[in-house]
Amino acid sequence: MRGAGDQLSIGERIAFYRRRRGLSQRVLANLVGRTEDWLSKIERGEREIRRLDVLVELARALRVTLGDLLGEPVLVENEREYDDVPAIRDALMAPQRLSRTLFASSMSLEYIDPGPVARLTEGVWSSYQKGELGRVVAALPGLIRTSHQMDAASADDAGYRRACAAVTARIHHLAATTLSKIGEADLAWIAAERAMHAADESDDPLVLASAARSGTHALLAVGRFDDAVELGEVAARWLSPRMRAGDPAALSLSGMLYLRTAVAAARLQDRSTATELLAQAGRAADQLGVDANYWQTGFGPSNVELHRVSVALDLGDISQVIDSAPRINVDHLPLERQVTHLIDLARAFSLVARDDDALHALLSAEQKSPGIVRHSAVVREVVRSMYRRMPASAGKKSSPLLALAERCRAVK
C-alpha cells in the first residue's frame, strides 16, 4: 500500500484496511465514536478528515500506522535522481551498531577529528533549511557511518567521546527531521532515539535540547501527540537556567520546543495548552528580540507567528488562517519554513474550496523547493482532493493542477 505509485485517497485507504480487518463500516465507525454515514462519506471522498487526531483514532482502530493511512512515503527523486533512503536505512540498522563488544574486532578504531565532521554536518543542515532534500538524503548515509566510526574510536577518551557524541547527536537529529519530512516515520524514530542517546553522552544541555526537537518531530510523525507534548515541555524546562540568563541559543532551542509542543497539543485538540505553549514561545522570542537561526532553528517572532497559523489550522480555525497567513512576512526566514507556511495556507484554502488560491500557493511553494512539495503527504492529499472536485469540463487533462498532481504522484 505504501510507496511510489500509491494514488489512493485517505478515504480509500481507510476502506482498504477496514476490509482487510474484516470490519463493517458500522463497527469501525462505532470504534471511533462516529456514525456509519460519516464513515461512508469519508471512504467515498464526499467528506474530508480535517483533524489529525481523528485520523490517529482510525489508525489505532484499524491497527495500522498513521503513515499507512497518509500513504507515505514516495521515493525521494528529483532531477538528479537522488534516492538514498535505502542507504540511510542500511546505515541506521547496521548490525555493528547493536553491540560495541560483539563487533569490537571488526570496527575501525582510527581517530577521526570531530571538527571537520561537525562543519560538514552543519553544511548539510543548511541544505535542509534551503529545501534541498535530495542533497540531505544523499549526504546522510555517509554522515551516519562516520558517526559510528567516531563512536567506536572514542571509547577510552572521555573528552573525545563527548565531542564525538555531540556531532553524532546533530547528525541523527538531521536524519530524524528529514525522514519525518519525507514520511519515513519509523526510521525517523530510530534516528531520533540515537540522537537523544548521543546527546546524553555529550553532557551538553544545548545538544540535548536540540536532539529533543528530533524526538518531537518523530513523535508527531507517528501520531503520538501527547508524548510529543511531554518530551518538548521537559526538554524546554531543562534549559530554564540558560534561558533566564538570556543565552540566545537556549532561548531559540526552548522556543522551538514550545512551538513543536504547541502543534502537538493542537493536534490533540487541546486549545488551552496549545495557546499557553505559544505564549511561552512568544516570550522567548520577545526576549531574543530578532528572527535568528541559532542551531538551525530559524527561531524568532516571525516563526512564532507561522506556528500560530499551524496551530490554528490544526484546531480548525480556517478563517483565521486565511485571514492572517498571507500578511506574515516570511521572505527572510529559511526556505524550508517559507515552504511549510505556503503548504499550510494551501491546505486552508482547499478546506473551504478556494482551489485556485490553494493551487497558487502550492505552485509558489514548489518553485521555492520542489523536493519538499513533491514528497509531502499533506500536499498529495490536498492536490488529490482539488483534482477530484475539478469539473470534467474544466480541461482536467491539460490543467496546471493535473501537472502538479502528477509531479507529486497524487494521481496516475
pLDDT tens column, 273-296: 999 999 999 999 999 999 999 999
Instruction: Indicate the pLDDT class of residue 202, thresholds 50, 70 and 90.
Output: very high
Domain boundaries, the chain: 10-69, 76-218, 223-315, 329-412
Phi-psi region of 294 (alpha: psi -120 to 50; beta: other; left: phi over 0): beta
Spatial separation of the C-alpha atoms in residues 116 and 136, rounded to whole Å: 17
pLDDT in tens, 109-156: 678 899 999 999 999 999 999 999 889 999 999 999 999 888 877 667
Spatial separation of the C-alpha atoms in residues 78 and 371, rounded to whole Å: 7
pLDDT in tens, 44-73: 888 888 888 888 888 888 888 777 887 766
* All cell numbers assigned to 126: 543548511
What is the average per-residue pLDDT within 252-278?
96
Write the CB contacts of 47 (distance below 8 Å, at least 6 apart in sequence).
38, 41
* All cell numbers assigned to 77: 527523486
The answer on pLDDT for 2 being more than 50 is no
pLDDT in tens, 361-376: 999 999 999 989 988 8
On whether the CB atoms of residues 210 and 253 are closer than 8 A, the answer is: yes
Instruction: Indicate the pLDDT class of residue 5, thresholds 50, 70 and 90.
Output: very low
What is the reported pLDDT for 4? 37
What is the reported pLDDT for 43? 87
The answer on pLDDT for 183 being more than 90 is no
More confidently predicted of 410 and 118: 118
For every residue of 165-217, DSSP letters joined together read HHHHHHHHHHHHHHHHHTT-HHHHHHHHHHHHHHHHHHT-HHHHHHHHHHHHH
Residue type, 402: L
The answer on pLDDT for 79 being more than 50 is no
pTM of the model: 0.84
- Residue 38's CB is within 10 A of a number of other CB atoms, namely 16
What is the reported pLDDT for 7? 67
Residue type, 71: G
Task: Report CA-CA distances (Å) from 347 to 200, 293, 341.
Answer: 38, 27, 10
Spatial separation of the C-alpha atoms in residues 209 and 89, rounded to whole Å: 25
Question: How far, rounded to the nearest angstrom, does the alpha carbon of residue 213 sit from its chain's CA centroid?
Answer: 11
DSSP reduced 3-state for 114: helix
Find cell 571488526 and name the residue: 106
What is the average per-residue pLDDT within 161-183?
93
User: 10-69 adopts what CATH topology?
Assistant: 434 Repressor (Amino-terminal Domain) (1.10.260)
What is the average per-residue pLDDT within 172-189?
91
The answer on pLDDT for 81 being more than 70 is no
Q: Which residues of 4-37 are buried (b: 16+ CB within 10 A; e: fewer)?
A: eebbebbbbbbbbbbeeeebebeebbeebebeee
Peptide bond into 114 cis (omega under 30): no
User: How far does the chain reach from its first CA to its final CA, in angstroms?
Assistant: 15
What is the reported pLDDT for 105? 65
Task: Report CA-CA distances (Å) from 35 to 9, 41, 49, 63.
Answer: 20, 10, 14, 20
